[in-house]
Structure 1
Amino acid sequence: MGGKSKRSATATEAASPDLEVLQKLRIIIRAAQRHSLWIEKQCGVNGAQLWIMQELAETPDLRVGQITARLAIQQATTSNLLESLVRKGHIVKTRDQQDQRVVKLSLSEQGRAVLEAAPKPARGLLPEALAKLEPGHLASLNSGLQGLLGSIEVLDEGFGLQPLPFTMQESG
């Protein structure tokens, strides 16, 4: 019984600022992960693929490089995500009439149906939440995260150009 009350007392004590931030990061990451898993269960596509579908619904005939820029990921990753969506019949590739080297991408009717039935936000919780922040709050968050990144000794900045792992599970 003594151990249980000690744990309860510890849980109610105020956490230090670093632990409060850690807890908030855990909440954010787990919420994003849960949303991504919900997307996969409901739609059969991963979170990054659904984001691509949302971009194509809003702006048809995008090129691979444009999608890469909108998602802030590597072009090779974008190409892999797109190939899977093409195989599933969710997007269609067409050649530009004036320049046959240019491939344009658009959402198929099947893809549109998947997107309409998908959990919202289709871009994912983190991208949508960040887009809704006031510019001052976003700048403060960016500065704080840059400070955190600066304190991590072993860091691969290339990770910043990859979707979160839980948004990338191959679904089907």
Structure 2
Amino acid sequence: MGSHESEPEAARDTEVTAALDALRHVVRALRLSSTAVEKAHGVSGAQLFVLGELASGKSFSIAELATRTATDPSSVSVVVGRLVERGLAARRASPDDARRAEIAITPAGSDLLREAPAPIQRKLIAAVAEMPEDERAALTRGLGRVAAALGASDGPAPMFFEGEPASRRSRKA
């Protein structure tokens, strides 16, 4: 009688397609936003996001920036290094503890931030944070399984469309 799928298989295939489509939409939105920011302002979406967090005028440690950006400290450190190299952020010793480095936005970083659009990462974090706890937990488990299946769950995750920390690159080489 032909090779028709059973109803459960067809429903599963529809759910798989819907999940992949949703993931494609998220990745596409992040990629398009990052590409547009990079073309117009010469920084990545991740760099713009970190600059936005620095815009409060307060200085932050790498650990504080990692918390504010929902990212691993080593990943934020890569982005901060690029911002410092470009003169958009400055690293200095904390006035309270000279062993602690603090990161602050520079006037050039503030100028760039005034011209650039709001980082899309803020919308992503808000969307995930506003999910009911059970949905957020299911999303975390599901995406964790997908990352593991792709062999992409080891070590800290880089910020979206940003290079990996040097220590991770050397482990993969």
Unpaired runs of at least 5, structure 2: 1-10, 165-173
State the Cα deviation string for residues 134-158 of structure 1 (Å, max 9, x = none).
44442343344345456x2x52323
Match for 1:35 among 33, 36, 39? 33
Report the RMSD for the aligned CA atoms in angstroms: 2.8
Is 1:22 the counterpart of 2:20 in the alignment? yes
Once residues 54 and 30 of structure 2 are traced to their aligned partners in structure 1, the CA distance between those partners, rounded to angstroms, is 22
Report how far residue 82 of structure 1 moved. 1.4
| Counterpart residue number, 1:11 | none
Match for 1:162 among 138, 158, 161? 158
Is the CA contact (8 Å cut-off) linking 2:57 and 2:105 kept in structure 1? no
Q: Which runs of 4+ in 1 moved over 6 A?
A: none
Greater relative contact order (Cα < 8 A, sep 6+):
1
Instruction: Please show how residues 18-167 of structure 1 align to structure 2 within 5 Å.
Output: 18-58=16-56, 60-121=58-119, 123=121, 125-146=123-144, 148-149=146-147, 152=149, 154-158=150-154, 161-164=157-160, 166-167=161-162
Unpaired runs of at least 5, structure 1: 1-13
* Greater alpha carbon shift after TM alignment, 132-141 vs 33-42: 132-141
Once residues 75 and 137 of structure 2 are traced to their aligned partners in structure 1, the CA distance between those partners, rounded to angstroms, is 28
Once residues 114 and 60 of structure 1 are traced to their aligned partners in structure 2, the CA distance between those partners, rounded to angstroms, is 17
Q: Does the residue aligned with 2:154 lie in a helix, a strand or coil? A: helix
Q: Does the residue aligned with 2:55 lie in a helix, a strand or coil? A: helix
Give the direction of change, closer, same or farther, for the CA distance of 1:57–1:89 in structure 2 (3 Å limit): same
Q: TM-score, normalised by structure 2?
A: 0.72
Once residues 123 and 45 of structure 2 are traced to their aligned partners in structure 1, the CA distance between those partners, rounded to angstroms, is 10
Q: TM-score, normalised by structure 1?
A: 0.72
**How many aligned positions are there?**
153
Give the direction of change, closer, same or farther, for the CA distance of 1:147–1:78 in structure 2 (3 Å limit): closer
Q: Does the residue aligned with 2:99 lie in a helix, a strand or coil? A: coil
Structure 1 vs Structure 2: percent identity of aligned residues? 25
